[in-house]
Structure 1
Amino acid sequence: MKNKKQKETLRKIFHYMRRYLWLFFLSVLCAVAVVALTLLFPILTGKAIDLIVAKGQVDFERLRMLVLQTGAVVLLTAILQWILNMINNTMTYRIVRDIRRDAFYNMGRLPLGYIDSHSHGDMVSRIIADVDTFADGLLMGMTQLVTGLMTILGTIGFMIMIDWRVTLVVILVTPLSMFVASFIAKRTFSMFQLQSQMRGKQTALIQETIANQKTVIAFGREQKQCEQFDEINENLRKCSLRATFFSSTVNPSTRFINSLVYAGVGVCGAILAMSGGISVGQLQAFLSYASQYTKPFNEISGVVTEMQNAIACAGRIFELIEAEPETPESPDCPALEAVKGHVIADHVSFSYHPDQPLIEDFCLDVTEGSRIAIVGPTGCGKTTLINLLMRFYETDKGAFFIDGQASRNVSRHSLRTSFGMVLQETWLRHGTIRENIIMGKPDATDEEVIEAAKASHAHSFIQRLPKGYDTIIGEDGGSLSQGQKQLLCITRVMLALPPMLILDEATSSIDTRTEMRIQKAFMAMSRGRTCFIVAHRLSTIEDADLILVMKDGKIIEQGNHETLLLQHGFYEQLYNSQFAH
């Protein structure tokens, strides 16, 4: 199973490499030239030694020519080696760029259910840390594997040309070195795979702790978080130590065997030299070739070990790349146009888990321009209803219709741009205030931005910032208060003014006085637009055209505020519980 998984991962890596075959072939040509010139050096050195026969018997003229040739070979080898490294770096980091891009793009296409059920830190670790580790392994493989294999084949050819008997000694010992490297490499793959998984868990914990540091401190969880980190860190240490220990045994093991090869060549070559079978210069060349022949085995064994780590990381990356995206849309999928806001829910059913039903046989008919409030206890399905309306999740049964068109049959982009959302959880990216506001309308003018900010009552606090609308804020709003962040999110929607609005506890972090002003702004903004309001504070939805009271995924009551109070039902209980004295 493990070998099958490795082969499948390698096949995917070769798929990315196939885009840069021209660079690969160029790399191979350079590698051939580098190896050929490197192997030519011992020949020239051996000939130079044979020209130094004894005192007073040195052919300086030919020796001078050999020195010049040797210098030219060394210079050309250095230039070609630099070019080879540039080609391999270019190819490796283009492949890495493509893999990282595909991983990030696919993450944007994943259904919300996948994002909710997977650790965000682990996903970050796959795209950043695992791709970096894969890049290191791939670069080492490109740089050393090809040249190493060519060096082995080249040295065998040159040694056979000098004397086949000594070459036979070298070849007979070679399988032992390969067996040792393969034996250890097979056992390190699972260890590197576990190391990569533990690294992902560690990244996830660090990200969670940093993002929620205030909550951690408020609940006195610092020690607990440290203990949890220490546990993961210790497990990572053990995994890394085992993987590194076993992988580090490859090099000394192969070096020992290679030393045996070198000693065998030295003894056999010396015997032949004394009997006149080869010259002293040829013996020197043989020893150089024996050293060059064994060196790639050390490098290749290291590369194989590093590649095990890289393949393990690549497997995790491809899991993210190949995660099932949202159901693809057909190319001719129609777009919602000239949306009026007539929304129908036709016998909708949905559950996050098949054995735990949430929304069952939900029906609703919302006329265009209505203000619909959705209330109910926590967990009754209010936010889930919004997620289904926006197609963040797909319904199990039934469908939503927008102006008579089933939402599942229109493009997601046109559906989602038809809604303006202000959520209880704010989201602001690193950038200027203006960049955050114009997210839904990139071509907005400064006058439009200021007008929207004034309508949301955000203009006054923005002006007090060091650079006003050009003030750069950090990730998730930086030092802005929660209320200020929410005002910016409200401004963003007021600027875009889509035909339908969704307000999910949109004023939960704003003081009562500002909330009253914003409610008036919302009233003006929602005039003529279908508006869905999820609220816990019932005072904010008293003027809604229709209030849906949900419980256990079903609408148990509906009507306007006065009608529902007269029914003396569940809504009245909720209302009185908030205003009881």
Structure 2
Amino acid sequence: MISLLKYLKPYKLQVVFVALFTLLGSMLELYLPTLMADVVDIGIVNSDITYILKIGVWMVVCSLLAILMTMGKAFFASRTSLAFGRDIRRELFVKVEHYSLEEFGKVGASSLITRTTNDVKQVQDVLNMMLSLMTRAPLMLIGGIVLAVYRDAKLSLIFVASLPILAGLIFLITRKAVPLFGVLQKKTDRLNLVLREGLTGVRVIRAFNRADHEKEKFRKANQEFRDTGIAVNRIMAFLFPVMMIMMNFTNIAIIWFGGIRIDQGDMQVGNLMAFLQYASMILFALIMLAMTFVMIPRAQASAGRINEVLLIKPNITDPKQPSEHTGLRGHVEFKGVTFRYAGAEKPVIEDISFHAKPGEMTAIIGSTGAGKTTILQLIPRFFDVEKGSVLVDGTDVRKMPQKELREKIGYVPQKASLFSGTIKENVLFGKEDATDEEVLEALETAQASEFVKEKENGIDSYIEQAGANLSGGQKQRLSIARALVRKPEIYLFDDSFSALDYKTDQKLRKTLKETTADAAVIIVAQRVSTITEADQIIVLNEGKIAGIGTHQQLLEENDIYQEIVASQQTEEESA
């Protein structure tokens, strides 16, 4: 929690205002019982109406000023805590955006969402409470004790007995509750994960009639969250009644012993009334401190989870001294590249070497799990190689700024990812300043213009989250258009034609050949028909290159390629 307070630096002045308003407001509140005692002991006892009215006006003025101070304090405390929460959420989002895929997978999407929303909210609320209460409560506690002792030192001995007992009870209750706050946040993570999977995978769930299974999974996660929440609240429920009981017993003791002292002539009635108010202030201040200390452990658990995200150092960072430009354009070269995912025993790809040149199409084909997608993901540096090097335009990608590297690439992922918004906005994701003509041209090349024109609003038609209102082929074509609109030096197509029919696939390949004539094109494909015209085909087998050549060369010389072609011909013939 303390480590996050550095985000308060821009709001030092507002924190000073909170402290100032709290100090002035507390002093005014502490002064009111003294005025009331004077009204009783001087004005009422002497039947001095003028004095009563004069002091009464002062009490009204002090009360109004105290209200204004409280409002000012609340305003600046809320403004500061909300800005603090906003800054941390922004910092988390920016940090996660710089994660490599490896770090992103370690934490998980659901946990990152919880940490950015729920955990930040917990810390933000506690900060607001600290600014509002933790600055006020000590002032009221210390000021109340000092003024109570000033009023009657002997009667103040009651606090020597009541305050330690109350503090001990608060400690015991919070000690039981603190460990459960961390558990509660983990249960929130689990609930979010189950809910997210249930919503994103709703089609699969229905297709396999697994709705009841998912309901049971959600019910279990929901019940665990509920049970933990009830356990925490059950413990915390003891806190307030215990405080009220102690406060009431303290007041009874003050009235009892105060009455005796008045009867003996050692104390006046007004003083007793003021003493009772100071006692209430002291006990309420202790309650406020207790409530704040109760919330701090939960915020501490949340702050720890936030810091876990902020302290992760991305494996992939920009070089301190980038290499100079070589003058090449559209060249991709793998030199003895070996790569394994974190925790894996065997490398996914091993000793991969090839050269993709501008104006040429390089295709990669192989069985599932052979490492085709991994090769493509190493080019934009989503991961770093274990051995060897990946060169783009003659420069190792590890010696290039990530932004500069990725501006050279038009990447179409295996799973088409679209964002909620219009078709135009999704295509502009590839090139922010593209004109409508460029957008339409990219859609035409990607064979998407036909279905776009059929929509009522054309390129301004709305796409739901993840493209839920589009077919698989439509999503793929829009993803291709997004890559085409930026006109990069290198095109990476990761099995991006799998959802297209053969006719559309053929048309798309023909137009792509014309559009990408000056760029290097690397295609991962499952269908042989998609890559027959490739300048070079790389055949992968168990993470190693089993052959490189044209379609005709591999068909004559490579056994694995022959098997792939034969299996697909058989499937097509039987169909």
Is the TM-score greater than 0.5? yes
Q: What letter is aligned with 1:319? A: E
TM-superposition CA deviations, 1:452-505 (whole Å, max 9, x none): 222222222222222212222221124122221221111112211101111111
Match of 1:141 in 2: 130
Report the aligned-residue RMSD.
Answer: 1.7
Matched, 1:40 2:27: no
CA contact (8 A) 2:423 2:463 kept: yes
Matched, 1:307 2:300: no
Match of 2:369 among 361, 366, 379: 379
Count of residues in Structure 1 that have an aligned counterpart in Structure 2: 570
Give 1:557-576 correspondences, 5 Å limit: 557-576=547-566
Match of 2:4 in 1: 13
- Give me the whole-angstrom Cα distance separating, in 1, the residues matched to 2:501 and 2:106: 34
Matched, 1:324 2:307: no
Deviates more, 1:265-274 or 1:57-66: 265-274
Deviates more, 1:494-503 or 1:302-311: 302-311
Match of 2:120 among 109, 128, 131: 131
Q: Summarize the Cα distance change of 1:104–1:463 in structure 2 as closer, same or farther, 3 Å threshold.
A: same
Match of 1:99 in 2: 88
Give 1:74-473 correspondences, 5 Å limit: 74-334=63-323, 339-352=328-341, 353-473=343-463
Q: Summarize the Cα distance change of 1:228–1:336 in structure 2 as closer, same or farther, 3 Å threshold.
A: farther
- Give me the whole-angstrom Cα distance separating, in 1, the residues matched to 2:326 and 2:347: 34
Identical-residue share of aligned pairs (%)? 27
- TM (norm. structure 1) is 0.95
Deviation at 1:347, TM superposition (A): 1.3
Q: Summarize the Cα distance change of 1:435–1:334 in structure 2 as closer, same or farther, 3 Å threshold.
A: farther
TM-superposition CA deviations, 1:386-445 (whole Å, max 9, x none): 111221011111111123211111111111111111123111112221111111211111
Match of 2:491 among 484, 497, 501: 501
CA contact (8 A) 2:495 2:526 kept: yes
Deviates more, 1:344-353 or 1:256-265: 256-265
Q: Summarize the Cα distance change of 1:463–1:497 in structure 2 as closer, same or farther, 3 Å threshold.
A: same
SS of residue in 1 equivalent to 2:518: coil
Q: Summarize the Cα distance change of 1:301–1:337 in structure 2 as closer, same or farther, 3 Å threshold.
A: farther
- Give me the whole-angstrom Cα distance separating, in 2, the residues matched to 1:328 and 1:219: 43
Deviation at 1:322, TM superposition (A): 1.7
Deviation at 1:354, TM superposition (A): 4.3
Deviation at 1:52, TM superposition (A): 5.4
SS of residue in 1 equivalent to 2:444: helix
Q: What letter is aligned with 1:50? A: D
Deviates more, 1:95-104 or 1:113-122: 113-122
SS of residue in 2 equivalent to 1:330: coil
Match of 1:530 in 2: 520
- Give me the whole-angstrom Cα distance separating, in 1, the residues matched to 2:326 and 2:253: 82
CA contact (8 A) 1:390 1:415 kept: yes
Deviation at 1:356, TM superposition (A): 2.5
- Give me the whole-angstrom Cα distance separating, in 2, the residues matched to 1:337 and 1:130: 47
Deviation at 1:295, TM superposition (A): 1.0
Match of 1:551 in 2: 541
SS of residue in 2 equivalent to 1:214: helix
- Give me the whole-angstrom Cα distance separating, in 2, the residues matched to 1:346 and 1:70: 84
CA contact (8 A) 2:338 2:387 kept: yes
CA contact (8 A) 1:336 1:410 kept: no
Matched, 1:477 2:467: yes
Q: What letter is aligned with 1:17? A: L
Deviates more, 1:261-270 or 1:220-229: 261-270
CA contact (8 A) 1:254 1:297 kept: no
Match of 1:7 in 2: none
Q: What letter is aligned with 1:38? A: E
CA contact (8 A) 1:121 1:208 kept: no
Q: Summarize the Cα distance change of 1:113–1:354 in structure 2 as closer, same or farther, 3 Å threshold.
A: same
SS of residue in 2 equivalent to 1:58: coil
CA contact (8 A) 2:364 2:523 kept: yes
SS of residue in 2 equivalent to 1:166: coil
SS of residue in 2 equivalent to 1:233: helix
Q: What letter is aligned with 2:62? A: V
CA contact (8 A) 1:339 1:499 kept: no
Deviation at 1:334, TM superposition (A): 4.2
SS of residue in 2 equivalent to 1:558: strand
- Give me the whole-angstrom Cα distance separating, in 1, the residues matched to 2:502 and 2:385: 37
Structure 2 gap segments, 5+ residues each: none
Q: Summarize the Cα distance change of 1:288–1:182 in structure 2 as closer, same or farther, 3 Å threshold.
A: same
Deviation at 1:326, TM superposition (A): 3.4
- Give me the whole-angstrom Cα distance separating, in 2, the residues matched to 1:532 and 1:370: 9
- Give me the whole-angstrom Cα distance separating, in 1, the residues matched to 2:79 and 2:44: 49
TM-superposition CA deviations, 1:504-532 (whole Å, max 9, x none): 11111222222211111111122121111
CA contact (8 A) 1:373 1:534 kept: yes
Deviation at 1:200, TM superposition (A): 1.0
- Give me the whole-angstrom Cα distance separating, in 2, the residues matched to 1:51 and 1:303: 40
CA contact (8 A) 2:166 2:246 kept: yes
SS of residue in 1 equivalent to 2:483: helix
CA contact (8 A) 2:323 2:395 kept: no
- TM (norm. structure 2) is 0.96
Deviation at 1:237, TM superposition (A): 1.3
